[in-house]
């Protein structure tokens, strides 16, 4: 059997091979491709007897002896299949003809069952929840797929993604806002239009299409470091998170050689979630010795702060970590007058390492 569709000629060979031929205008037929083999696996055939091509160039083959329809890309890539031998709805007995209309409906001449069957090609929409960092927070979705929740953690009680099989049509999917979380990514694999402002992806599903839409939300964790020249303050840097450091996050001292200058650092949790916050501070350098102390007990915590392992465990939202950190900078007697040492102290969320805030203590030798 031979069927010409536009410039593509496809020969159905009983041995189980589909041969596609290109027919350039004004030229003889030229062989371009073949696919398939005898058998019942995906992409195999047993007496293929009918063929159709849809508007997207996908190829449908009536795989007669296997009692099924197989769908391929225009280059022979297997996409899907349906049917089996039998006489129930969706089954076939030696189907010998197949056609596709403009809406993507598939018509099959179910020869030995003496009937024609019509199939609407469903597509699928998969909605994926990506929480940064992984978290049991529930996110609610609504729209054309109905209401459903998702979360993104290791607990399988609530899924991270859901797949919906639907007829062709337009399906808006909207994620409800969650306090303390910001929508930082919204995209669909099929290039569907998205609106981060309304937190909506609008999927126009075509026959057989598989669209995956991912909603990414980032937990708004925000450590806030403050610095002062005295333990009681006044502190600067409150609600300032700029990088590089703003002048409002810096305190300075001029210190005589052979003497010390002292600074105090507090760390606040400015998010709406409890958070553990680590602190890392600059180490000593030529002419300047930098040490860190628990301002309440005067215990030396220099090694921990230098290593970035000093941790405030589970600071409540809006609260300050305890203790205050005392920073002591000693200027060596041999240090040149005018030499400077910048001590950077950085607070980092343990749940999301990209969330940091820093303050700077500047010492000038005199």
Per residue in 260-281, pLDDT tens?
Answer: 999 999 999 998 889 999 999 9
Tell me, yes or no, whether 131 and 172 share the same domain: yes
Tell me, yes or no, whether 138 and 215 share the same domain: yes
| Per-residue pLDDT at 23 | 45
Cα-to-chain-centroid distance, residue 332: 51
Mean pLDDT of 69-78: 91
Query: Are the CB atoms for 65 and 96 separated by under 8 Å?
Result: no
Tell me, yes or no, whether 104 and 172 share the same domain: no
Mean pLDDT of 298-306: 98
The SS3 assignment for 149 reads strand
| Mean pLDDT score across all residues of the chain | 89
| Per-residue pLDDT at 2 | 41
| Per-residue pLDDT at 223 | 94
Tell me, yes or no, whether 90 and 202 share the same domain: no
Question: Percentage of the chain surpassing pLDDT 90?
Answer: 68
Query: Are the CB atoms for 64 and 95 separated by under 8 Å?
Result: yes
Separation of alpha carbons 245 and 248, rounded Å? 8
Question: In the chain, which residue ranges form alpha helices assigned H by DSSP?
Answer: 302-307
CA geometry: angle 352, 353, 354, nearest 5 deg: 95
| Per-residue pLDDT at 120 | 84
| Per-residue pLDDT at 243 | 60
Domain boundary among 219, 238, 267: 219
Strands (E), 207-281: 210-219, 223-228, 250-255, 260-269, 275-281
Residue 226 burial (10 A CB sphere; 0-12, 13-18, 19+): buried
Tell me, yes or no, whether 92 and 26 share the same domain: yes
Radius of gyration of the chain (CA): 34
| Per-residue pLDDT at 175 | 97
Tell me, yes or no, whether 266 and 313 share the same domain: yes
Domain boundary among 159, 186, 219: 219
| Per-residue pLDDT at 167 | 82
* Spatial CB neighbours of 185, under 8 Å, sequence gap ≥ 6: 130, 214, 215, 216
User: What pTM was estimated for this model as a whole?
Assistant: 0.55
Tell me, yes or no, whether 180 and 284 share the same domain: no
Mean pLDDT of 11-39: 62
**Torsion over CA: 140, 213, 100, 52 (sign):** negative
Mean pLDDT of 173-189: 93
Between 209 and 200, residue with greater pLDDT: 200
Tell me, yes or no, whether 166 and 195 share the same domain: yes
Number of residues that make up the chain? 366
Q: How many domains does the chain have?
A: 3
- 134 pLDDT band, cuts 50/70/90, is confident
Domain boundary among 69, 96, 119: 119
Q: Which of 3-17, 146-160, 262-276, 347-361 has the lowest mean pLDDT?
A: 3-17
Token pair in block for residue 264: 């105090």
Residue 334: give its domain's CATH number.
2.60.40.10
| Per-residue pLDDT at 21 | 45
The domain of 112 spans 2-119
Tell me, yes or no, whether 282 and 305 share the same domain: yes
Strands 210-219 and 123-132: parallel
């Amino acid at each position: 059997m031979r069927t010409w569709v536009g410039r593509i000629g496809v020969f159905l060979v009983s041995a189980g091979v589909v041969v596609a031929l290109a027919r350039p205008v004004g030229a003889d037929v030229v062989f371009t491709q073949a696919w398939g083999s005898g058998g019942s696996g995906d992409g195999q055939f047993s007496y293929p007897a009918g063929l159709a091509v849809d508007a997207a160039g996908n190829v449908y083959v009536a795989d007669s002896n296997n009692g099924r329809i197989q769908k391929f890309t225009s280059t022979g890539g297997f996409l899907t299949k349906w049917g089996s031998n039998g006489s129930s709805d969706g089954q076939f007995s030696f189907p010998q003809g197949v056609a596709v209309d403009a809406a993507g409906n598939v018509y099959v001449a179910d020869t030995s069952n003496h009937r024609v069957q019509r199939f609407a090609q469903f597509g699928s929409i998969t909605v994926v929840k990506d929480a940064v960092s992984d978290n049991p927070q529930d996110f609610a979705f609504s729209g054309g797929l109905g209401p459903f929740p998702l979360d993104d953690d290791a607990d399988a009680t609530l899924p991270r993604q859901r797949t919906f099989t639907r007829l062709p049509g337009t399906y808006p999917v909207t994620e409800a806002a969650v306090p303390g979380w910001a929508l930082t990514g919204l995209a669909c694999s099929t290039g569907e239009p998205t609106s981060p402002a309304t937190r909506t992806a609008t999927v126009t599903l075509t026959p057989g299409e598989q669209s995956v839409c991912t909603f990414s939300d980032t937990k708004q964790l925000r450590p806030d470091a403050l610095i002062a020249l005295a333990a009681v303050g006044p502190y600067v840097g409150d609600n300032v998170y700029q990088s590089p450091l703003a002048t409002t996050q810096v305190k300075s001292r001029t210190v005589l050689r052979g003497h010390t200058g002292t600074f105090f650092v507090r760390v606040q949790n400015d998010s709406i979630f409890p958070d553990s916050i680590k602190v890392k501070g600059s180490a000593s350098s030529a002419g300047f010795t930098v040490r860190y102390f628990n301002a309440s007990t005067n215990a030396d915590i220099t090694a921990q702060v230098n290593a970035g392992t000093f941790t405030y465990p589970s600071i409540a939202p809006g609260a300050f970590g305890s203790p205050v950190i005392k920073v002591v900078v000693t200027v060596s007697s041999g240090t040149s007058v005018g030499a400077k040492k910048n001590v950077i102290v950085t607070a980092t969320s343990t749940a999301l390492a990209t969330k940091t805030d820093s303050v700077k203590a500047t010492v000038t030798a005199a």
